[in-house]
Amino acid sequence: MLVVNGLRATVGEKEILQGLNLTVNPGEIHAIMGPNGSGKSTLAHVLSGRDGYTVTGGSATFAGQDLLALEPEQRAHLGLFLAFQYPVELPGVNNTYFLKAALNSIRKARGEAELDAVSFLRFIKEKLKILHLDESLLKRAVNAGFSGGEKKRNEIFQMALLEPKLAILDETDSGLDIDALRVVADGVNALRSPERSMIVVTHYQRLLDYIQPDFVHVLAKGQIIRSGGKELALELETTGYGWIDAEGLAA
Amino acid sequence: MTSTTAVNDLVKSEYEHGFTTEIASDTFPPGLDETVVRAISQRKGEPEFMTAWRLKAYRHWLTMTEPNWAAIDYPKIDFQAISYFSAPKRPEDAPKSLDEIDPILLETYQKLGIPLEEQKVLAGIAVDAVFDSVSVATTFRKSLAEVGVIFCSISEAVHDYPDLIQKYLGSVVPYTDNFYAGLNAAVFSDGTFVYVPKGVRCPMELSTYFRINARNTGQFERTLIVAEAGAYVSYLEGCTAPQRDENQLHAAVVELIVLDDAEVKYSTVQNWYPGDAQGKGGIYNFVTKRGDCRGARAKISWTQVETGSAITWKYPSCLLRGEGSVGEFYSVAVTKGRQQADTGTKMIHIGKNTRSTIVSKGISAGEGQQTYRGLVRIGQRAEGARNHTQCDSLLIGDRCTANTVPYIEVRTPTANMEHEATTSKISDDQLFYCRSRGLTEEDAVSMIVNGFCKEVFNELPMEFAVEAQKLLSISLEGAVG
Domain edges within chain A:
2-90+164-239
Is any Cβ of chain A less than 8 angstroms from the Cβ of B1?
yes
> Which residue of chain A comes nearest to B429, CA vs CA?
A88
To the nearest whole angstrom, how far is the Cα of B391 from the nearest Cα of chain A? 14
Q: Do A105 and B432 touch (CB under 8 A)?
A: no
> Which residue of chain A comes nearest to B3, CA vs CA?
A51
SS3 of B322-366: CCCCEEEEEEEEEECCCCEEEEEEEEEECCCCCEEEEEEEEEEEC
Low-confidence residues of chain B: pLDDT under 50: 1-12, 18-24, 89-95, 102, 104-105, 108, 115, 117-138, 209-217, 240-245, 481
Q: Across all residues in chain A, what is the average pLDDT?
A: 90
Q: Which of the pair, B368 or A2, is modelled with greater confidence?
A: A2
pLDDT digits (tens, 9 = 90+) for A167-216: 999 998 888 888 888 888 888 898 999 999 999 999 888 888 899 999 99
How many Å apart are CA B87 and CA A187, to the nearest integer? 69
Segment A226-231 shows an average pLDDT of 89
Class of residue A64 by CB neighbours under 10 A (exposed 0-12, middle 13-18, buried 19+): exposed
**C-alpha distance across the termini of chain B, in Å:** 7
B chain contacts of residue A94, beta-carbon cutoff 8 Å: 451
- In CATH terms, the fold of domain A2-90+164-239 is Rossmann fold (3.40.50)
To the nearest whole angstrom, how far is the Cα of B435 from the nearest Cα of chain A? 5
Which candidate from A71, A88, A105 shows the least CB-CB separation from B433? A88
pLDDT digits (tens, 9 = 90+) for A85-143: 999 999 889 899 999 999 999 999 989 999 988 899 999 998 888 887 888 888 899 99
Q: Do B437 and A158 touch (CB under 8 A)?
A: yes
Beta-bridge partner residues of B300: B264, B327
Cβ-contact B289, B224 below 8 angstroms: no
Q: Which residues contact B127 (CB under 8 A, 6 or more apart)?
A: B116, B119, B120, B137, B138, B139, B140, B207, B208, B209
Q: Do B452 and A92 touch (CB under 8 A)?
A: yes
> Which residue of chain B comes nearest to A48, CA vs CA?
B436
Which candidate from B2, B434, B437 shows the least CB-CB separation from A51? B2
Which candidate from A50, A71, A90 shows the least CB-CB separation from B451? A90
Cα–Cα distances in Å, from B319 out to A223, B326, B342?
70, 9, 20
Classify strands B326-335 and B299-306 as parallel, antiparallel or unpaired.
Answer: parallel
How many Å apart are CA B409 and CA B413, to the nearest integer? 11
What is residue B322's predicted lDDT score, i.e. its pLDDT?
A: 96
Which candidate from A50, A76, A91 shows the least CB-CB separation from B437? A76
- DSSP result, B416-443: EEEEEEEEEE--HHHHHHHHTTT--HHH
Cβ-contact B291, B258 below 8 angstroms: yes
How many Å apart are CA B296 and CA B112, to the nearest integer? 41
Q: Do A90 and B443 touch (CB under 8 A)?
A: no
To the nearest whole angstrom, how far is the Cα of A77 from the nearest Cα of chain B? 6
To the nearest whole angstrom, how far is the Cα of B201 from the nearest Cα of chain A? 34
To the nearest whole angstrom, how far is the Cα of A92 from the nearest Cα of chain B? 4
Q: Which residues contact B416 (CB under 8 A, 6 or more apart)?
A: B384, B385, B386, B387
Angle at the Cα of A47 (from A46 to A52), degrees rounded to 5?
A: 20
Could you give the angle at which helices B441-457 and B3-11 cross, rounded to 10 degrees? 60
Q: Which residues contact B255 (CB under 8 A, 6 or more apart)?
A: B168, B169, B170, B171, B172, B173, B223, B224, B225, B290, B291, B292
To the nearest whole angstrom, how far is the Cα of A19 from the nearest Cα of chain B? 25
Q: What's B123's DSSP letter?
A: I
Q: What's B172's DSSP letter?
A: S
How many Å apart are CA A152 and CA A155, to the nearest integer? 5
To the nearest whole angstrom, how far is the Cα of A210 from the nearest Cα of chain B? 26
Q: Do B437 and A162 touch (CB under 8 A)?
A: yes
What is residue B330's predicted lDDT score, i.e. its pLDDT?
A: 95
Q: Do A98 and B437 touch (CB under 8 A)?
A: yes
Is any Cβ of chain A less than 8 angstroms from the Cβ of B4?
no
3-state helix, strand, coil in chain A (%, to 5): 40, 30, 30
In B89-231, the DSSP E strands lie at 126-131, 134-138, 150-153, 190-196, 206-210, 221-227
Choose the mutation target among B436, B454, B473, B480 for the interface with A, i.e. most A CBs under 10 Å: B436
Is any Cβ of chain A less than 8 angstroms from the Cβ of B458?
no
Is any Cβ of chain A less than 8 angstroms from the Cβ of B462?
no
How many Å apart are CA A227 and CA A26, to the nearest integer? 18
How many Å apart are CA B178 and CA B174, to the nearest integer? 8
Q: Which residues contact B220 (CB under 8 A, 6 or more apart)?
A: B84, B183, B184, B187, B188, B189, B250, B251, B252
To the nearest whole angstrom, how far is the Cα of B433 from the nearest Cα of chain A? 7
How many Å apart are CA B220 and CA B200, to the nearest integer? 30
A chain contacts of residue B434, beta-carbon cutoff 8 Å: 90, 98, 102
Is any Cβ of chain A less than 8 angstroms from the Cβ of B439?
yes
Which candidate from A76, A94, A103 shows the least CB-CB separation from B436? A76
CB pairs under 8 A between A and B: 77
Q: What's A75's DSSP letter?
A: H
Q: Do B432 and A72 touch (CB under 8 A)?
A: yes
Is any Cβ of chain A less than 8 angstroms from the Cβ of B427?
yes
Which candidate from B424, B430, B439 shows the least CB-CB separation from A73? B439
Residue B79: what are its φ and ψ, rounded to 5°? -70, -15
Class of residue A70 by CB neighbours under 10 A (exposed 0-12, middle 13-18, buried 19+): middle
Cβ-contact B258, B300 below 8 angstroms: yes
